[in-house]
Amino acid sequence: MMIVRPNKLSNLFLLVCSFFLWVACSKDNNPVKDSDEEPEEEVPEAVYDETGCLYTSYTGLVMAGYQGWFAAEGDGSNRGWYHYQGPNNTFKPGVTNIDFWPDVTEYTKTYKSPFQYADGSDAYLYSPYDEESVDLHFKWMKEYGLDGVHMQRFVGEIKPSNAAGKRHFNQVLANALKAAKKYERAISVMYDLSGSNSEDVAYLEQDWNELQQTFDLFNNFEHPTYLRHNGKPLVTIWGVGFNDNRRYTVSDVSRLVDRLKGPSNKVSIMLGVPYYWRTLDRDTENDPALLELIKKVDIIMPWAVGRYDNNSYNNAAGTMVMDLMWCKQNGVDYVPLVFPGFSWGNMHNDPSLYHSIPRLKGDFLWKQVAGAKGAGAASLYVAMFDEVDEGTAIFKCARENEVPLNGPLQFMGIEQDLPSDHYLWLTGQAANWFHGESGYGSVRPDR
């Protein structure tokens, strides 16, 4: 075998080659841009003209959730007695989903139900599919001082596979947008992810884009009361971080938030989260990604329904001050939830669940209002305007001696010695307080 020994000349040659190779590699790793190349442009922040907008911030407002999911036989929705009915689409005495009965005295259009009163007369119900019924609701909001509502939109019911559901919620939203403009009440869209899977969560973006086109949603003239916050239209996503084995993840919702906001941060987002979101325990999934997601949105609204009653409220509400502090430190607004009471005995065919959380003539509701105000909250979310299923409705409901018969079960009612509009009036008083009016405190106001 021949061995070639390097001489000085070959060593010099290798050294020169190595130098040029190093220079070439250095240029590749740190490329120098041609002076003619344009730098990458940053996407500018979305800016909306808010001329004519009546509600440019949630701060200082008291708004309620509006289900709008009821239907009546003959209302044109072809959904039967949807959400009034019980299992197997059955609606008759002893089989129903609702605990409270709406006071339909002022409605111009109602439908005869299969229920009757003790004197044998028929009991009637309304449908939000009818424009005049939704108009009446917004008329009440103005009369009693409620700032407006978040229109619930259940993702599982608006998918392409559920044409009837989508048609229903589009019609109810159309009714509400018209009435909101007429009575100058704030309105926004609120998506509920309950029952959804990962694909449904992703579909929400498509529906949101369709709503903007179908209703020209951000047109200041057509919809001057659509709620804005932080300079952007507000949309809510409810139901992330709960530890009840949902079929979608925090990551699914985080991706959705990124897509809805986009590079230009084109919308404000309120996130509906569990009550114990900050400590990631009890009703909350133990996933730190939830806190990172919350930091990306504009507002959070922790779900308080069923988390306490009048006796345990002070203990449970102690977390609110720390929640508010965390949100302030992380640049997120905080809207606490208040509710008048809770009852779902008919839904579960179990009389022991009637008045699970008693209303106490409004003492319970007012305790929460005062607690939120004392903790430093600037706004409220009221659950709910029309939720008679679980007995959280604040709108006009029949009193205890005015409800129909319900076979072996019964209907709950507004306390006998109170008017049917008592909780609507009390919510209006809460709005007055959050608007800055004086004369309110920890004691429920008298009418």
The pLDDT, as a whole number, for residue 36 is 52
Q: Where are the domains of the chain?
A: 62-434
pLDDT (tens digit per residue) in 248-264:
999 999 999 999 999 99
Q: In this predicted structure, what is the pLDDT of residue 274?
A: 98
Q: Is the pTM of this model over 0.75?
A: yes
Residue 37: its pLDDT value, please? 53
**What is the pLDDT at residue 42?**
84
pLDDT at 40 (0 to 100) = 61
Place of tokens 């949105």: 297
How big is the CA angle at 156 (ends 104 and 190), to the nearest 5 degrees?
65
**Helical segments of 222-310, H only:** 250-261, 289-294
- Measured distance CA(83)–CA(126) in Å, rounded: 12
Pairwise CA distance, residues 41 & 47, whole Å: 17
pLDDT at residue 38, rounded to an integer: 59
Say how far apart CA 302 and CA 323 lie, in whole Å: 10
pLDDT recorded at residue 30 = 44
Residue 41: its pLDDT value, please?
Answer: 75
Report the pLDDT value the prediction gives residue 419, as an integer from 0 to 100: 98
Which residue ranges in the chain fall short of pLDDT 70? 1-40
Rounded CA gap, 190 and 172, in Å?
13
pLDDT digits (tens, 9 = 90+) for 14-60: 343 444 433 343 434 444 444 455 556 789 999 999 999 999 999 99
Using DSSP, how many helices (H) and how many strands (E) does the chain show? 10, 12
Quick one: CATH architecture of 62-434?
Alpha-Beta Barrel (3.20)
Please tell me the predicted confidence (pLDDT) of residue 321: 96
Phi, psi for residue 32 in degrees, rounded to 5: -95, 120
